[in-house]
Structure 1
Amino acid sequence: MHSNFISIALLGLTVTFGASPSRADQPVAAHAGTLLPTGQWITPTAAAGAAYQPLNPNLKDMPKLPAGYADSEALSPNGKTLLVLTTGYNYVVDAAGKELPKDSTQFVFVFDVSSGRAVQRQVLQVSNSYVGIAFAPDGKSFYVPGAGEDNLHVFTLQGANWVESGTPIALGHKTANGISQQPTATGVAVTGDGKRALVANRYNDSVSVIDLTLRSVIGERDLRPGKNGGVPGTPGGEYPNSIAIVGSTRAYVSSERDRELVVLDISLQVPVILGRIPLQGNPNKMVVSRDGRMLFVASDNADVVSVIDTARNVVTGTVSTIAPNGVLDPNRAKYKGASPNGLTLSPDGNTLYVTDRGTNAVAVVSVAGGIPRLVGLIPTGWSPSDIRVAADGGTLYISNAKSDPGPNPGNCLGYETVPCPVPNSPVTFAPNQYILNLTGSALLSVPTPGADELARLTRQVADNNGFDQERDDDRTIAALRKTIKHVIYIIKENRTYDQILGDLGKGNSDSHLAEFPRTTTPSQHALANNFVALDNFYDTGDVSGNGWPWSTAARESDAGAKMLPPNYAGNGGGGSYDWEGTNRNVNVALTGAARVAADPLAATLDPDTLPGQGNVAAPDGPKGEYQQGYIWNAAQRAGLTVRNYGYFIDLTRYNVAGTPAAALQIPRDRSPYPNSVQSTSANPQLGPVTDVFYRGFDDAYPDFYREREWEREFAGYAANGNLPSLSLVRLMNDHTGNYAAAIDGVNRPDIQVADNDYAVGRLVEAVAKSPFARDTLIFILEDDAQDGPDHVDAHRSTAYVVGPYVKHNTVISTHYTTVNVLRTISDVLGIDHLGIYDANQRPMSDVFDTSNPNWTFTGTASPLLKSTSLPLPKNIQFAAKAKSPRSLAYWVDKTQGMNFAEEDKVDAVLYNKILWAGLMKTDYPTNGGRSLASQVPPMARHKDDDGDDD
């Protein structure tokens, strides 16, 4: 596996990586492995004696519905009780789609770990939570902030059971800093004397001080420099995440957005800021050494843990958590994505354990002697989020935030309120089939490994992530690089494979689930038939919130990953949609006067509201380029030209009609060029290359006009021979919605999908008939697959590759994901990889035939478009007959009150049911109308002894 090898002393033992005759060099033992939509494998039980326990709250109404997104742990001072807190999608419905409030909560799982085994004793409910949980020093109480409810829950031990003590303590915030943003309570810590608790207020950029005896807030400190005697408009202290307290007088608060620790004197009622410590990356959780001398801080984006000397308040060192020396190819060591997000110390203080969310591993760091050294990795489940060590040091307890959801509709999962269907019989709607409902969490218990075992497990992590695979340049891609000069990258919205191509007639499809069949989507069917049908392709993102980061950066931030489920649930959990350039609905790509000029709504903000261009969710580049980890940044660094049509657009002025700011509404202009600006970029590097006449996300605006604006510029490029190297095109109307406001009769879901389909087909046709046909590749995918059923997996979706050298009339069943698309684009254009995911995965070589550059395509329109008033061209080709099954009035009535202002603001569960009933005129299926028990999803394959797919 490695030609070199290195030995590192660990706790008096020697860990060896690489060639060695010792047991550590023997092949990794075979373990059941799951292939994820990230392209990685997970092997949570690879460690000898490991136990993987799914977190099930045993709800009365849904007894087998899992709890998702376990994000934080707390271990009692005596080491006997472990708490695991979820920050999941707490929105549970019955068979009629009605919310079950008593089940729609977050959970605290209480485990007895006194014997080393984790034995579940209780499951406590809190209506909402976000990351924070902490024990009192005496172990008789613990505390959970209530997220968007702006309060603090107190639990006390009564006999053998934990119970909530009184009503939650109100924090008293009326508003938050931002545009239309509500408060959210997050991290919590308790002073050493147990008298006070500090709570971080994520969107108020402050810390509240609570007297635990009086059960009331006695002080608050705004963490921003401009509110503490500094220069107004200076970034600092924003997006506070976690709090660490040294003794009872000193506190440290991690500022995720501004990449610093704020140091507080908490001896008074109102804390005093003592200083600020700049850090690499975005700091999140922290742990203090037992003697209080050292503070360890995990930082996303930089993939490091920083070590703070608490006497001097300076950084004394950092350690990367990706992989020990000799494990990862040095040429790929610069790439980021391990995403450390939770950490703890061994009882003797000599070893630091860090959860790496991005690589599904625990990093084992020796801190003996004061010099941190990464000495090994332990494989975990999907998305590890926090960790604690047993009191005797013998067991690690690791929370895993996610599990693969599997088919959607589910395969008789057991929590439906209707009987599991008889094969080939009519079926009815099964509740809680939404991807975020199906995503469950687990607690992984791992015996602390010795040196040889750690070496073996380290190689398992390397194998799971592709660290140790040869990365010689692919011959097919190298040949393409010589001829392909342009890539057009189209991102659409939210559809599954079966929804669109279920009736393709070849490949792994299910016609029962084709809500938008060939008559609605003739151009996409032609693309799949004429070129390649990718029937084993998976969107890496679950929903748009992480679908867009994955589709543009091949990874997501820890801040985004944790906020996604409560943001999407929306039932008091709060949370800002920060995934596409804005933070708290503020365009942080711009600052000062430029921000106000682009969006006068920002004039209502004071100068200390998100000053500067810090974006809490933006990825850094491979060499630490600040917030420049997107595909366009890589192209620009390589000297290539980029043009943007609709990516990362500020939407605040699209949705103010009917409000006091209605005069600021940007009107929907069918022919905007040259006088009607339609969009403002929300990304600093995209701003100068964005077509401002191309409208961003707006369900009421047909893709027909978006494509026409793109084609206007394309004609100019064709005339001048200067097509940009990378064109980013957003065609989003397959998202569907906003029917009452939709213009030109594109006002029903099937018609909107048909509009999107024709726009895609027309764009491909324009390229096919242009001078760029021989040197341009087109990649098309959905950012996620959340809105609909698929019989294989809730992440399976459509993707198309079109252009010269693409195979014709071929089904490709190779497992590909969003990450593979970005890897292929990067390789074809000859630009650098974006992060650790695409750097360690393969391009989509199976798609291409380098002997055949010939191709042609003519877009075909669904006859559904005949009912619209779109100015369709006279020579348009229509597909076979199709008729919309429902009237506009039906869709307006069924979706009344739904918020289509931006992606995913509607009740996705209810909306999917409405779509199915309206389009298919039958009840929503539980499993596509037949038993799926005998089907094995391609993603759920296992590895054999040699590590290959079975």
Structure 2
Amino acid sequence: MVLLGLSSILAACGGSSAPPSLGTVSTTPLPTGQLMSPTATPGAAYMTLVPGFKTNPSLPAGFAQSEALSPDAKTLLVLTSGYNYVVDSSGKQVPGDSTQFVFVFDVSAGAPVQKQVLPVSNSYVGIAFAPDGKKFYVPGAGEDNIHVFAFNGTAWAESGTPIKLGHTSANGLAQGPTATGIAVTADGTRAVVANRYNDSVTIVDLVNAKVIAEQDLRPGKSGGASGTPGGEYPNSVAIVGNSTAYVSSERDREVVVVDLSPATPSVKARIPVAGNPNKMVLNKAQSVLYVASDNADVVSVVDTAKNVVTASIPTLAPTSVLTAAQARYKGASPDGLALSPDEKTLYVTNRGTNSLAVISLASTPAAVTGLIPTGWYPSDVRVSADGSRLYVSNAKTPPGPNPGNCLGYETVPCPVAGSPVTFGANQYVENLTGSALLSFPVPGAGTLGLLTTQVASNNSFNSVPSDADAQLMATLRSNIKHVIYIVKENRTYDQILGDLGKGNGAPTLTEFPQKTTPNLHALANTFVTLDNFFDSGDVSGNGWPWSTAARESDAGAKMLAPNYAGNGGGGSYDWEGSNRNVNVGLAGSARNAANPLSQSLDADTLPGTGNVAAPDGPDGQVQQGYLWDAALRAKLSVRNYGFFIDLTRYHLAGTPYAGLQIPTDRTPFASGIVQAYAANSNLAPLTDAYFRGFDDNYPDFYREQEWEREFDGYVAGSNLPSLSLVRFMNDHTGSFGTAIDGVNTPETQVADNDYAVGRLIEKVAKSPYASNTLIFIVEDDAQDGPDHVDAHRSTAFVVGPYVKKGAVVSNRYTTVNVLRTITDILGLDHLGVFDASQSPMTAVFDLAQTSWTYTATASSLLKATALPLPTTVAYAAAAKPTHDARYWVAKTRQFDFSEEDKVDAMAYNKVLWAGLMGGKPYPSKARAVEPTADGQKLPKAAAQRPAAVTAAG
């Protein structure tokens, strides 16, 4: 990898040719393919936010979202909005620990000193001090209220009963309200609260603790044309004096200006901005508003006298760090801002690139002069009163391994050395993902140049493939004409391939071994074993964005933990084409045809096809940053089997809307029964309407048959699409009481998924397309199982011509590398800054391996089902199910399997382990030293575990 020379960066930063050295910089690899180095800045302090739970004293608080600095600049508040679902050792929720938090720091002497940790029952992104500094306010998210905290002379405490905002529903289908951003008027008498799902702001009398007005921000509800998008998904609020509120509208890419001066507020202006606006900050004179915008990767500069945008400042990197071509790509995701006391510098957190952008406002035009490394997902920033120190909150920390306790990798002591430990409480990936506060002195120009180089290295900016790698990919591009991309659901590496017999696996953690998944094992053995592969997403909510766009939106990243915890109302699942359970990929009659329930919505509920969480393309193509969009721009053909499908009509039995349910059908094309409506406007015409989307009731066997029906047609017509998107999801498991054809236990469902994958590969292998088709297979995330290396480590497979045979490839690859490889092979433009910067998976390929073949094998578990398996099918070694469907139904009655990740994953994982592993306790130490078939022993797991990497600064 080659990076831009240090001298050019220093010149851009105003540094000398001999700046001070950073010394040794410690970096940590992330599942996104990046590195983070939060302590690279001299004098930096990086502290994990640990609230000190009564029952779980070492468990961190996740997702630090926002900061507030007191008017006297002596007290710093850090608000979390994490996965607030904490359980005891028996799996029972601990209400006192299942909260959000405000961490209170004394910053009067510069370095932060933690003074208090205040529980707040629910929160999202809003927190604000009163002008006199004696109170602060936190909107209660799904509780639809405002929590008031007051200083009693010695400490902070919640004061009185939260102020109710009075919303009974929200604008959407089965979606509750959520209070988000908040700002207080200059006189301290009123607060303005943004209501994320009501598309409104509430004006609250703080003196009398009551609501005094509500203003709908949508044009059709505020004097404009009905059915016009605008004002939806309000995020943050900034107030000029006592009379004018500015509200960022994430979905509709505008800042709404609300006049607060009359008794009845009104919308007086709408300011279009690039990208999806989120947090904002005013200068002292309140004449300029700075607005951070995801997707466009800019800060919009708004003149508050004229209510117009006067400039847009890119935040990704100094112009010297990236070429003009590379600067096209998006992914910086600015999401927090702060002005220096002299207002000559604007600091912006770049969530996507784990950096703090330093923007000179004194230069013309204003521009980024340097980047400072942060922790993972920086979310907000504040500056000390004298401008000498910065405080950056970081939403995430790496979760590490998740097999329970006492694996030997812990930072806290094990309870009793050598004692067996049952399935560890709070080992779900979102429980293990903490957050942190980073503080450091403002670096000088020379040091800033070095730090910019470090950020560039952490993100592989300006990386250049070797000549050999470039030639290899060029050869593949000239020979491979078709890619089939299969995405599955939620499994870790150890859970499936821990028993493979080679590679870095822990057999004691394998829940679906070779007898259950013979095809996945055969693929890993026949082609390449990728034993160091990481899913970039934590869960489906960000797993699907990473798997289809190589990045995630800021709106999605912030809502992930609250949505998955579900406490206090949670939030809507907006990651696969719907917003608030409304199919925004379609509009008008097409939306109503997909889901007739949408007819109950008025014309001002999410009009148009705006999607708050969709990525933009590299040249500003709005909401067209997905893999299929890149293929369409390259004039390639695309076919979709199950990606981004509207699921609302799959589970209406037993409801008043049962007549709208789409029935399962084993041969839907022959029956003429449509099974799927896409929830993405570009995918809609490319989607196989007879390929059923996510539904645990429906075996993948029939999905594969439908794919096979179309494939046979493509063979006959010699017109196989360049890119095929295939979702085989039944390894998610669930719906055991209603699943059809006896595919109604975890083992049979995973075996069904395994056989569908094998059948598809066999079909390609024995077709005219075998010589020019590559198949890539990933899990969207790894949340539903144990892994002794990391909670993000998962399985991935590459199958077809030019793939190595029988090789173990331990290169650290992620979902981003898969997408980079696909785009390179098909000759597509990159999707964003991450796949543009990271390498293709060249270690997987061998150009001498031109021929290949494959024959699918079925797990013998499928013999007990009613699936119409071919009479010629070969079965793997005999396997006995651990339990029948009645057992699994009884154990999972409390779970909702209607959509991915509605289930309580932590509890479900415990049920799976207990039922599949014969009741044995979780191992006290996962064994990765196992004899292979030839009697040799594998390397120790600890030796191969990704450790903190040390690099020279």
**TM-score (normalizing by structure 1):** 0.97
Sort the Cα spacing of 1:286 and 1:687 in 2 relative to 1 into closer, same or farther, 3 A.
same
> Matched residues in 1 for 2:85 and 2:944: separation?
27
What's the CA shift for 1:655?
Answer: 1.8
- 1:70 matches 2:25: no
Give the alignment's Cα RMSD to 1 decimal.
Answer: 1.8
Which moved further from structure 2: 890-899 or 107-116?
890-899
> Matched residues in 1 for 2:944 and 2:157: separation?
42
What's the CA shift for 1:5?
Answer: 6.0
Assess if the C-alpha contact under 8 Å between 1:620 and 1:629 holds in 2. yes
Deviations 1:597-643 (A, max 9, x none): 22110000000000000000000000000100000000000010000
Q: How many corresponding residue pairs?
A: 937
Q: Which runs of 5+ in 1 are unaligned?
A: none
Structure 2 SS opposite 1:500: helix
Q: Among residues 812, 824, 828, which one is paired with 1:815 in the alignment?
A: 812
Deviations 1:354-394 (A, max 9, x none): 00000000000111267422111000000000000011111
What does residue range 743-754 of structure 1 map to in structure 2 within 5 Å? 743-754=740-751
Determine the structure 1 residue equivalent to 2:507: 511
Assess if the C-alpha contact under 8 Å between 1:421 and 1:931 holds in 2. no
Assess if the C-alpha contact under 8 Å between 2:337 and 2:346 holds in 1. yes
Assess if the C-alpha contact under 8 Å between 1:416 and 1:431 holds in 2. no
Assess if the C-alpha contact under 8 Å between 1:64 and 1:415 holds in 2. no
> Matched residues in 1 for 2:549 and 2:325: separation?
19
Q: Among residues 649, 653, 662, which one is paired with 1:657 in the alignment?
A: 653
What does residue range 52-91 of structure 1 map to in structure 2 within 5 Å? 52-91=46-85
> Matched residues in 1 for 2:848 and 2:284: separation?
65
Assess if the C-alpha contact under 8 Å between 1:513 and 1:928 holds in 2. no
- 1:580 matches 2:582: no
Residue identity matched to 2:903: V
What's the CA shift for 1:194?
Answer: 0.1
> Matched residues in 2 for 1:417 and 1:98: separation?
23
Determine the structure 1 residue equivalent to 2:297: 303
Deviations 1:419-454 (A, max 9, x none): 64644x633122000000000111000100111011
- 1:935 matches 2:942: yes
Determine the structure 1 residue equivalent to 2:4: 2
- 1:23 matches 2:22: no
Determine the structure 1 residue equivalent to 2:93: 99
Assess if the C-alpha contact under 8 Å between 1:510 and 1:928 holds in 2. no
Q: Among residues 761, 767, 785, which one is paired with 1:764 in the alignment?
A: 761
Determine the structure 1 residue equivalent to 2:728: 731
> Matched residues in 2 for 1:923 and 1:356: separation?
45
> Matched residues in 1 for 2:673 and 2:536: separation?
36
Assess if the C-alpha contact under 8 Å between 1:488 and 1:729 holds in 2. yes
Assess if the C-alpha contact under 8 Å between 2:696 and 2:730 holds in 1. yes
> Matched residues in 2 for 1:887 and 1:930: separation?
29
> Matched residues in 2 for 1:655 and 1:42: separation?
42
Deviations 1:833-879 (A, max 9, x none): 00000000000000000112111111111000000001111101100
Q: Among residues 474, 479, 482, which one is paired with 1:478 in the alignment?
A: 474
Structure 1 SS opposite 2:665: coil
Assess if the C-alpha contact under 8 Å between 2:359 and 2:366 holds in 1. yes
Assess if the C-alpha contact under 8 Å between 1:187 and 1:199 holds in 2. yes
**TM-score (normalizing by structure 2):** 0.96
> Matched residues in 1 for 2:69 and 2:842: separation?
48
> Matched residues in 2 for 1:504 and 1:222: separation?
58
Q: Among residues 161, 180, 185, which one is paired with 1:186 in the alignment?
A: 180
Sort the Cα spacing of 1:369 and 1:322 in 2 relative to 1 into closer, same or farther, 3 A.
closer
> Matched residues in 2 for 1:500 and 1:612: separation?
42
What does residue range 76-155 of structure 1 map to in structure 2 within 5 Å? 76-155=70-149
> Matched residues in 1 for 2:890 and 2:93: separation?
20
What's the CA shift for 1:9?
Answer: 9.1
Assess if the C-alpha contact under 8 Å between 1:596 and 1:603 holds in 2. yes
- 1:828 matches 2:830: no
- 1:467 matches 2:464: no
Determine the structure 2 residue equivalent to 1:356: 350
Structure 2 SS opposite 1:318: strand
Structure 2 SS opposite 1:673: helix
Assess if the C-alpha contact under 8 Å between 1:416 and 1:430 holds in 2. no
Percent identity between the aligned chains?
Answer: 65
Q: Among residues 715, 718, 727, which one is paired with 1:718 in the alignment?
A: 715
Sort the Cα spacing of 1:417 and 1:185 in 2 relative to 1 into closer, same or farther, 3 A.
same
Q: Which runs of 5+ in 2 are unaligned?
A: 930-939
> Matched residues in 1 for 2:482 and 2:462: separation?
31
What's the CA shift for 1:270?
Answer: 3.1
Sort the Cα spacing of 1:934 and 1:392 in 2 relative to 1 into closer, same or farther, 3 A.
farther
> Matched residues in 2 for 1:208 and 1:397: separation?
30
Sort the Cα spacing of 1:936 and 1:545 in 2 relative to 1 into closer, same or farther, 3 A.
farther
Determine the structure 2 residue equivalent to 1:864: 861
Determine the structure 1 residue equivalent to 2:563: 567
- 1:231 matches 2:225: yes
Residue identity matched to 2:650: Y
Sort the Cα spacing of 1:698 and 1:241 in 2 relative to 1 into closer, same or farther, 3 A.
same
Determine the structure 1 residue equivalent to 2:932: none
> Matched residues in 2 for 1:187 and 1:516: separation?
45
Determine the structure 2 residue equivalent to 1:641: 637
Assess if the C-alpha contact under 8 Å between 1:422 and 1:931 holds in 2. no
- 1:333 matches 2:327: yes
Assess if the C-alpha contact under 8 Å between 1:427 and 1:923 holds in 2. no
Residue identity matched to 2:420: P
Q: Among residues 878, 885, 890, which one is paired with 2:875 in the alignment?
A: 878
Assess if the C-alpha contact under 8 Å between 1:154 and 1:166 holds in 2. yes
> Matched residues in 2 for 1:862 and 1:851: separation?
32
Residue identity matched to 2:457: D
Determine the structure 1 residue equivalent to 2:775: 778
Structure 1 SS opposite 2:624: coil
Determine the structure 2 residue equivalent to 1:529: 525
Sort the Cα spacing of 1:864 and 1:720 in 2 relative to 1 into closer, same or farther, 3 A.
same
Structure 1 SS opposite 2:591: helix
Determine the structure 1 residue equivalent to 2:934: none
Which moved further from structure 2: 405-414 or 250-259?
405-414
Determine the structure 1 residue equivalent to 2:545: 549
Deviations 1:767-823 (A, max 9, x none): 000000000000000000000000000000000000000000000000000000000
> Matched residues in 1 for 2:882 and 2:78: separation?
48
- 1:318 matches 2:325: no
Sort the Cα spacing of 1:749 and 1:421 in 2 relative to 1 into closer, same or farther, 3 A.
farther
Assess if the C-alpha contact under 8 Å between 1:65 and 1:415 holds in 2. no
Determine the structure 1 residue equivalent to 2:161: 167
Sort the Cα spacing of 1:924 and 1:907 in 2 relative to 1 into closer, same or farther, 3 A.
farther
Determine the structure 2 residue equivalent to 1:406: 400
Residue identity matched to 1:913: K
Determine the structure 1 residue equivalent to 2:836: 839
Assess if the C-alpha contact under 8 Å between 2:6 and 2:450 holds in 1. no
Sort the Cα spacing of 1:99 and 1:936 in 2 relative to 1 into closer, same or farther, 3 A.
farther
Deviations 1:64-108 (A, max 9, x none): 000010010000000000000001000000000000011000000
What's the CA shift for 1:7?
Answer: 7.5
Residue identity matched to 2:33: G
Which moved further from structure 2: 562-571 or 29-38?
29-38
Deviations 1:662-686 (A, max 9, x none): 1000000110004000000000100
Sort the Cα spacing of 1:51 and 1:573 in 2 relative to 1 into closer, same or farther, 3 A.
farther
> Matched residues in 2 for 1:311 and 1:64: separation?
50
Residue identity matched to 2:674: V
- 1:707 matches 2:697: no
Deviations 1:302-333 (A, max 9, x none): 00000000000000001100000111133211
Residue identity matched to 2:942: Q
What's the CA shift for 1:701?
Answer: 0.4
Structure 1 SS opposite 2:942: coil
Determine the structure 1 residue equivalent to 2:270: 276
Sort the Cα spacing of 1:927 and 1:455 in 2 relative to 1 into closer, same or farther, 3 A.
farther
- 1:592 matches 2:588: yes
Deviations 1:330-360 (A, max 9, x none): 3211000000000010111111000000000
Assess if the C-alpha contact under 8 Å between 2:404 and 2:422 holds in 1. no
